[in-house]
């Protein structure tokens, strides 16, 4: 799977009545594609995956694949109960998606071979990138076993344990040198210097969804953005649970596209924090233009 550069995780727009706003989603993806992302991940964490019905998920993925039209790979979120994950996977396949970002199953937890069976079942439908976060925290031996399953092509790390990730990367690449690894932490740019030291070059960029100019400038070597934009953004993100998504959606609105509100249990960005976000975006864009 050819993935490179900045990976685009679009938000999922809702209209004033709370319904999926498909035309706004199409415009959001179109605007992102103008900046040349290396892949599009629809209806994933930033896209409020856990708040979407199966039918909304299927429609969101179809909109994304239609707009992208084969120019870059499209991945869809999948996960939760096995039946729901399989339905999401089949709908994504029918929509023309290239693969899945597999979220952890919820509530029910079994031993390692039980999780392997879960992953194997979904990977029979479409290629899978496993998302390590929440209940899924792997030891190197387990990561190697999962990397050997047919259809499993990558691991996205949302834990941030550098020692663990180094051991996983070394163990997996010994047997599967082409296996993909991703930095999946919120505001991943801030930790990319550490992940690059592990040999992990791919990362999800939430910032690309609302300020692709800033995301691309960082990718192209503008490291002053780390202190002037990304570090303050991380401090703002940490003020309220759920802000890793709420701030992104607010940022898209600030840049002129009305993508609506977030769904509960997420909450909207407060007025004070919205002003901080607006000032940060202004600072980042000024740095890019200078």
pLDDT digits (tens, 9 = 90+) for 244-279: 999 999 999 999 999 999 999 999 999 999 999 999
Respond yes or no: is residue 218 known to be catalytic.
no
For the segment 35-94, what is each residue's pLDDT rounded down to a tens digit? 999 999 999 999 999 999 999 999 999 999 999 999 999 999 999 999 999 999 999 999
Give the residue numbers of the binding site.
46
Lowest mean pLDDT among 105-109, 110-114, 177-181, 254-258: 105-109
- Structure confidence at residue 33 (pLDDT): 98
Please check the confidence at residue 107 and state whether its pLDDT lies above 60: no
Lowest mean pLDDT among 33-37, 104-108, 172-176: 104-108
Closest by alpha carbon to 27, among 256, 244, 214? 256
- Structure confidence at residue 81 (pLDDT): 92
Which entry of 118, 156, 218, 249 is annotated as an active-site residue?
A: 156
What is the average pLDDT across 131-143?
94
Which entry of 106, 118, 131, 203 is annotated as an active-site residue?
A: 131
Respond yes or no: is residue 282 known to be catalytic.
no
Could you tell me the domains of the chain? Answer: 6-220 (3.20.20.70)
What is the average pLDDT across 164-173?
98
Give the residue numbers of the binding site for pyruvate.
46
Dihedral sign (CA 223, 230, 209, 151):
positive
- Structure confidence at residue 255 (pLDDT): 98
What is the average pLDDT across 90-106?
95
- 235 or 5, greater pLDDT: 235
């Amino acid at each position: 799977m050819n993935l490179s550069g900045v990976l685009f995780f679009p938000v999922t727009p809702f209209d004033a009545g709370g319904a999926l706003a498909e035309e706004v989603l199409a415009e959001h993806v179109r605007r992102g594609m103008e900046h040349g992302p290396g892949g599009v991940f629809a209806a994933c964490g930033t896209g409020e995956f856990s708040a979407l019905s199966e039918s909304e998920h299927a429609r969101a993925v179809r909109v994304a694949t239609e707009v992208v039209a084969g120019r870059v790979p499209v991945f869809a979120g999948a996960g939760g109960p096995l039946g729901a994950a399989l339905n999401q996977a089949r709908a994504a396949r029918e929509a023309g998606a290239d693969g899945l970002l597999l979220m952890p199953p919820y509530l029910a937890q079994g031993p390692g071979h039980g999780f392997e069976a879960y992953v194997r079942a979904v990977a029979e439908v479409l290629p899978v990138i496993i998302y390590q976060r929440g209940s899924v925290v792997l030891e190197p031996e387990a990561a190697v076993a999962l990397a050997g399953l047919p259809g499993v092509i990558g691991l996205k790390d949302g834990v941030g344990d550098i020692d663990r990730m180094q051991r996983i990367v070394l163990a997996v690449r010994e047997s599967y040198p082409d296996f993909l690894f991703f930095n999946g932490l919120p505001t991943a740019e801030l930790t990319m210097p550490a992940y690059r030291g592990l040999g992990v070059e791919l990362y999800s960029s939430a910032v690309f969804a609302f300020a692709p100019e800033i995301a691309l400038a960082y990718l192209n070597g503008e490291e002053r953005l780390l202190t002037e934009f990304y570090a303050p953004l991380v401090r703002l993100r940490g003020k309220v649970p759920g802000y890793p998504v709420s701030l992104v959606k607010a940022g898209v609105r600030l840049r002129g596209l009305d993508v609506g509100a977030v769904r509960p249990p997420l909450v909207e960005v407060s007025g004070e924090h919205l002003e901080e976000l607006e000032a940060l975006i202004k600072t980042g864009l000024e740095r890019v233009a200078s």
